[in-house]
Amino acid sequence: MQTPQFNSLVTLWKLGPDRLGVERSMRQEGEWILGEAISYVTGLPAGEQWRFEIMSENQSINHLVMLRLASTSIFRNWDSNRLPGPG
């Protein structure tokens, strides 16, 4: 796997129920930067994380890969040096 660019733009998608109530419909949760999307998803309760997927130009990242990336020293270094977001 290439070293991720945690400041690159990605879209975050969430699996949710379709009109029949079956968990199989993906909806876009907006544009994020990769590192913030990983922080958001990995900060959710474990039972919710599986619903999310990150999409970039050339790859899709599921919650298991997000957890693995969040545990790396590269990510922890990025996270400790990032500027606080709005709000």
- Per-chain mean pLDDT for the chain: 84
Mapped onto helix, strand or coil, the DSSP state of residue 73 is helix
The pLDDT score that the predictor gives to residue 87 is 38
Mapped onto helix, strand or coil, the DSSP state of residue 79 is helix
Domain range enclosing 62: 9-81
Domain total in the chain: 1
What distances in angstroms separate CA 40 from CA 21, 44, 48, 55, one per listed residue? 25, 7, 11, 15
What distances in angstroms separate CA 57 from CA 33, 86, 87, one per listed residue? 13, 25, 28
In a domain, 2, yes or no: no
In a domain, 14, yes or no: yes
Q: Tell me how far apart the alpha carbons of residues 71 and 87 are, in angstroms, rounded to a whole number.
A: 26
In a domain, 86, yes or no: no
Please determine, for residue 24, whether its predicted confidence score (pLDDT) is greater than 50: yes
Mean pLDDT over 25-53 rounds to: 89
